[in-house]
Amino acid sequence: MIYDFDKIIDRTGTECVKYDLRENVFGKADVIPMWVADMDFPTADFIREAIIERAKGDVYGYTFREDAYFESIVNWIQRHHQWETKKEWMSFTPGIVNAFNLAVMGLTKEGDEIIIQPPVYHPFFYAVNNHNRKLVENPLIDTEDGYVMDFDLLEQQAKTAKMLILSNPHNPVGRAWRKEELKRLGEICMKNNVLVFSDEIHCDLVMPGFKHVPFASLSEEFAQNSITAHAASKTFNLAGLATSTVIIPNDDLRNKYVNFVHSTEADMGNIFGKIATMTAMEKGDEWHAQLINYIKGNIDFAYDFIKREMPKIRIHKAEATYMIWLNFKDYGITDAELNHKMIHEAGLGLNAGNIFGKEGEFCMRVNLACPRSIVEKALNQMKSAF
């Protein structure tokens, strides 16, 4: 079956954050929305059908996740990333942001130092600051060849830190971290007893030619010193179903985390998230392959356009995620001017880079998970405005 990612779907009026909150967020309801990270593609038919089938049932009462549910995730991770996990290591979480907040609350103490690597997914900052932990920033370094980690600084910071929240692959800069990079990070963390929370929500959105390396798959020691978060929600566009998985191979750590989460009752979940996730994991290989092919086409299209038509923008080709990260520093305008121009002259609703940390100043994150015709229209509007 050939899936149609070119189809334009009108999402307005569905209480959809990306479209229906444009007026609130951008002060303009008609910007092309390429911000919040969900996709404008239709839900895979086999997932919709599984949900409808269950919805026909008479009762939507309390439901548990059976072994087959976790086995479907074990099998997906084995097939796609060659990491052998066990269903006993897994627990449910209603979203990964929820999971790293709960991990911070349940596994660290107030005042503990937690390292993040900006520019990075903004809820990482909030998870540390909102619970009175101490934020330690280990900024990525922007090189000619793309963003890299600052291991020398990390060596120093790890001496007193308790946890590191890793975006693997990295949102927003689109790096699919190599084995060697993760090994070096993992060794520094091991040596200093820094627990690694590896947020792998984008792991199934890695472009051809690159490979996702699950942090915990690199060694038994890393597995024992880490928490991995996985979800079908980005890959299959199921974010509204609030369903994801936390994987903790270390028994003591898992018990501590699971007991804490249970004490908050955050582990209840919902019937439809369970069904959608399991169906995606069991039947989604072909849809996923076609999706990656389409997103890769969008990334290539946008990259070539920018290099050709707007060469003052600095861009590294995304290795992973469906976002691209554009640096407008060479335009010589302020961040506020950049933001204003993007909304009011280009007519685009993008994520201002500075929400991902001060390193994101003069940058914009653009969500390319939409039909190519929209990407083309948006880039042409950007070109005219700039």
Binding site for ligand PLP (CB under 6 A): 37, 95-98, 121, 167, 171, 199, 201, 231, 233, 239, 244
Least distance (Å) from ligand PLP to the CB of residue 199? Answer: 5
Q: Are 103 and 227 in contact (CB under 8 A)?
A: yes
The strand pairing partners of 113, in sequence order, are 134, 161
Least distance (Å) from ligand PLP to the CB of residue 202? Answer: 6
d(CA 321, CA 318): 7
The smaller minimum CB distance to ligand PLP, of residues 233 and 327, is found at 233
The smaller minimum CB distance to ligand PLP, of residues 140 and 347, is found at 140
The smaller minimum CB distance to ligand PLP, of residues 97 and 313, is found at 97
Q: Are 178 and 147 in contact (CB under 8 A)?
A: no
Least distance (Å) from ligand PLP to the CB of residue 87? Answer: 20
Angstrom CA distances, 48 to 16, 43, 189, 238, 312, stand at 18, 7, 42, 10, 43
Least distance (Å) from ligand PLP to the CB of residue 229? Answer: 7
If we measure between CA atoms, which residue out of 245, 202, 222, 262 comes closest to residue 96?
245
Task: Report which residue's Cβ sits closest to ligand PLP.
Answer: 95
If we measure between CA atoms, which residue out of 127, 151, 131 comes closest to residue 139?
151
- Identify the helix (H) or strand (E) that includes residue 366: strand 363-367
The smaller minimum CB distance to ligand PLP, of residues 122 and 314, is found at 122
- For residue 118, say if its preceding peptide bond is cis, omega within 30 degrees of 0: no
Least distance (Å) from ligand PLP to the CB of residue 152? Answer: 25
Q: Which amino acid is at 100?
A: F
Which residues neighbour 13 within 8 Å (Cβ) at sequence distance 6 or greater?
Answer: 20
The smaller minimum CB distance to ligand PLP, of residues 157 and 244, is found at 244
Least distance (Å) from ligand PLP to the CB of residue 371? Answer: 20
DSSP assignment letter at 21: T
Paired tokens of 6: 């070119």
The smaller minimum CB distance to ligand PLP, of residues 123 and 341, is found at 123
Q: Are 130 and 164 in contact (CB under 8 A)?
A: no
Least distance (Å) from ligand PLP to the CB of residue 355? Answer: 12
d(CA 217, CA 170): 17
The smaller minimum CB distance to ligand PLP, of residues 238 and 302, is found at 238
Least distance (Å) from ligand PLP to the CB of residue 64? Answer: 20
The smaller minimum CB distance to ligand PLP, of residues 106 and 381, is found at 106
